[in-house]
């Protein structure tokens, strides 16, 4: 097969300067100059089939663009919206929900507060799905791994203060104490999650005073 001299040709960013003397190789190597100015050697076949398009600067540019896009899109990710939302409610006194959160002493744990990656990891490891919202098991408790879970809006609305009055909380405790019902029966009767009933029974929470 007749060899074609590629000198002077341009492949993507590479201008072929000259053929390099062969040393123990069947392939023809060329000295090339990249658009960015870097001069290096490359196999002619790699240039022709497009495997090598530049000195590496092309790939680097592409990668840094991917990085930028990913970082930019992150702020539109549904988990980021949740992350942003909880911080606003707890720390931005101008937020319309602040009075139910920050003003009541609800805070975001250090692990999450300024660490979206940490929050994101917890979210994914703990059953986050699109459409679910973050739910505090104890509505008087903070945003922290041990007190949060992902819930549908129906599950979450069960835990709002509108549904339990102080006298109901006291009744639940009494009914449990006298052995009239067990926790899961009480959960059904009061249309609450059994984890809520458990907190109430253990005197850990009064739900009448809390908001979701
Ligand atoms: Zn280059």
Q: What is the pLDDT of residues 1-21, one digit of tens each?
A: 566 788 999 999 999 999 987
- Pair (41, 97) in one structural domain: no
**69 Cα: distance to centroid of ligand 1 (angstroms):** 22
**55 Cα: distance to centroid of ligand 1 (angstroms):** 4
**42 Cα: distance to centroid of ligand 1 (angstroms):** 13
How far, in Å, CA of 207 to CA of 212, rounded? 10
Residue-averaged pLDDT of the chain: 83
Per the structure, the count of domains in the chain is 3
* Residue 212, CA distances (Å) to 36, 150, 151, 164, 206 in order: 57, 13, 12, 12, 13
Residues of the chain with pLDDT under 70: 1-3, 23-25, 63-76, 157-163, 205-212
- For residue 100, the enclosing domain spans 78-152
**pTM for this structure?**
0.46
- Pair (11, 42) in one structural domain: yes
The conformation of residue 37, written as its DSSP 8-state character, comes to S
**21 Cα: distance to centroid of ligand 1 (angstroms):** 23
**67 Cα: distance to centroid of ligand 1 (angstroms):** 19
- Pair (91, 143) in one structural domain: yes
- Pair (87, 141) in one structural domain: yes
Q: What is the pLDDT of residues 110-145, one digit of tens each?
A: 999 988 888 988 998 899 988 889 988 888 889 999
């Amino acid at each position: 097969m007749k060899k074609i001299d590629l000198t002077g040709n341009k492949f993507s960013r590479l201008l072929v300067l000259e053929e390099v003397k062969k040393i123990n190789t069947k392939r023809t190597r060329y000295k090339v100059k990249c658009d960015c100015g870097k001069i290096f050697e490359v196999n002619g076949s790699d240039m022709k089939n497009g495997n090598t398009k530049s000195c590496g600067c092309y790939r680097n540019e592409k990668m840094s663009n991917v990085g930028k896009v990913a970082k930019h899109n992150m702020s539109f990710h549904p988990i980021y919206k949740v992350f942003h939302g909880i911080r606003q409610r707890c720390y931005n006194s101008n937020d319309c929900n602040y009075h139910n959160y920050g003003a009541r002493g609800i805070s975001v744990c250090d692990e999450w507060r300024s660490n979206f990656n940490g929050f994101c990891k917890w979210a994914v490891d703990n059953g986050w799905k699109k459409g679910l919202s973050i739910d505090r098991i104890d509505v008087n408790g903070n945003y922290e791994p041990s007190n949060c879970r992902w819930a549908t809006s129906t599950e979450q609305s069960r835990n709002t203060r509108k549904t339990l009055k102080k006298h109901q909380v006291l009744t639940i405790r009494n009914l449990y104490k006298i052995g009239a019902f067990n926790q899961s029966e009480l959960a059904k009767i009061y249309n609450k999650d059994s984890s809520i009933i458990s907190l109430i029974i253990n005197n850990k929470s009064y739900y009448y005073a809390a908001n979701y």
